[in-house]
Amino acid sequence: MKKWGKRVGYGIGDLGCNLVFSTMASYLMVFYTDVFGITAAAAGTMMLVTKFIDALTDTGMGLIVDKTHTRWGQGRPYFIVGAIPFAVFTFMTFYIPDFSASGKLIWAYITYCLLCTAYTVVNIPLNTIVPRLTSDIHERDVLVSTRMVCAMAGTAIVMSITAPMVEFFGKGNEAKGYLVTMTIYGIVAMLIFFVTFASTKEVVPPTVSSVRVSLMDSLKGLTAQAWILFLLNLFYFSLYVVRSTTVIYYFKYNLGRTDWLSLVGVLGILSGLPMLLALPALEKKFSKRSLMFFSVALYIAGDLLIFVGRNSAVCLLTGLVITGLGIYGIFGITFAMQPDVIDYSEYEKNASVAGLIAAFQGFFVKGGMGLTSFVIGVFLKNGGYVANAEQTEKALSYIEICFIWIPIVLCAAIAILTYFYKLDKLRGDMTEELENRREKMLKDV
């Protein structure tokens, strides 16, 4: 039970993050345009600009974590530090001041940037502490999978109850509905971060002394395997954005199945749950490299089944489930690789750069998501897409390219990168060497 207390305590940290992050991903644009009162162009530009600002704050937070040394650990204290600001800035982001149009836009920029920064303060440490929680490789895989399941649960909660809550608390006043709903999410997330702090303990020290190093020295601690991880994050989250953004367009316009949109949303979230639950057991028997190839093949097979069987309900639903298994397999394995990459920097470069690795992951994730969203918008516009209208053949073909063929190209890129991932073979040697170094450090103290 103690193990599961730690697993769940760590995992629900991402549930807390996702209560707000998933709401921002799904509802923030419509909130800004339809409720807050700024134009779609201004909101879209703000989302792109702030994503790159956010990516830079990720890098800064990673460096801060690497330079933090307290009796509570390196990353864990920031669950407490960031919890209250996270709740406060969630409230502020969804508060509508009585300002002019330009004043509102400035308020939106400032509050959204502050909320993204508070998210960074709690989320970067969540990414860094797994190697410090345990040196047992299987236990690390269980921790990562628990976190992924909790993240999915957070997304499912948001997709299920946000709209009803806005309606219930607003009673016709959407501004009030959003404010009360998001305040509740912010407070719940804050309490969850307190639980995550109390449930975890950093018991595995780094094998590198805690001397302060320069940014240049920290950058030298990044290995080629770390860059493979960063690019995997870039391509995975690009795949995630393309799929989640264009699936509605494809089913609405290309297939004419608007009555399926709710079902498509549910399948998109829940179809990957079996894969996340099975990953720890699969990772005991198979290498992460092999499982990544398998997940990529699953996604491509499901994608092609949707394309070939687009006139068959059975083929469409089966294809959605298979792509869900594939995309969440890629998701879970990418995050499971991170502790190995962190250890490899200690093993190969004698560098403790967990925070910097998590920061670069965040940079590639958020920069990639922002850029991909922008590219999809430009691509659809060039195809002649017109909202809520009958689409031309050209527009339909561009939607099909976005939903079917771009994901296959991204999957191919993920497979090529995975070919150069080599830490599965080194995992045993790394564990033994790092344990020997820790024992030596303890003897020298």
Of 7-11, 45-49, 129-133, 347-351, which gets the smallest average pLDDT? 45-49
Q: CA-CA distance, 289 to 310, in Å (whole number)? A: 32
Interior CA angle at 289 toward 317 and 265, to 5°?
25
Report the b/e string of 374-401 with b at 16+ CB within 10 A. Answer: eebeebbeebebeeeeebeeebbebbbe
pLDDT exceeds cutoff 70 at 209: no
Please tell me the predicted confidence (pLDDT) of residue 270.
80
**Tokens 């801060």 label which residue?**
64
Scanning 68-214, the segments in alpha helix (DSSP H) are 77-93, 101-128, 130-133, 137-170, 174-199
Element housing 212 (H / E): none
Round to whole Å and give the CA distance between 104 and 93: 11
Mean pLDDT, range 35-47, rounded to an integer: 81
Residues facing residue 73 across a β-bridge: 70
φ, ψ of residue 7 to 5 degrees: the values are -60, -50
Q: How confident is the model at residue 268 (pLDDT cuts 50, 70, 90)?
A: confident
Residue 327 has pLDDT above 70, yes or no: yes
Per-residue burial over 260-292, b if 16 or more Cβ lie within 10 Å, else e, is beeebbebbbebbbebbeebbebbeeeebbebb
Taking phi over 0 as left and psi of -120 to 50 as alpha, with beta for the rest, 423 belongs to alpha
Tens digit of each residue's pLDDT (9 = 90 or more) over 231-261: 999 999 899 888 877 887 888 888 888 778 7
pLDDT at 204 over 80: yes
| Percentage of residues in the chain having pLDDT higher than 70 | 97
CA dist., res. 36 & res. 336, Å (int): 39
User: Taking all residues of the chain, what is their mean pLDDT, rounded to a whole number?
Assistant: 88
Q: What is the pLDDT of residue 272?
A: 86
Across 324-343, average pLDDT: 93
pLDDT band of residue 211 (cuts 50, 70, 90) is low
Distance in angstroms (rounded) separating the CA atoms of residues 236 and 413: 9
Structure tokens at 161: 């109850």
- Chain segment 348-373, per-residue pLDDT in tens: 998 888 888 988 888 888 777 777 87
Cross-strand partners of 70: 73
Residue 399 to residue 388: CA distance in whole angstroms: 14
Report d(CA 83, CA 119) in Å as an integer: 9
Rg (CA), the chain: 22
% pLDDT > 90, the chain: 51
pLDDT of residue 210: 53
- Cβ-proximal residues to 172 (8 Å cutoff; 6+ apart), any chain: none
Tokens of 223: 């290995």
Crossing angle for the helix pair 354-382 and 393-400, to the nearest 10 degrees: 160
pLDDT at 222: 92
Cα dist from 427 to 288, 358, 364, whole Å: 11, 20, 25
Number of residues written out for the chain: 445
Three-state secondary structure string covering 321-377: HHHHHHHHHHHHHHHHHHHHHHHHHHHHHCCCCHHHHHHHHHHHHHHHHHHHHHHHH
Alpha carbon distance 223, 214 (integer Å): 17
* Per-residue pLDDT band at 88 (split at 50, 70, 90): very high
- Lowest-confidence region among 147-151, 157-161, 394-398: 157-161
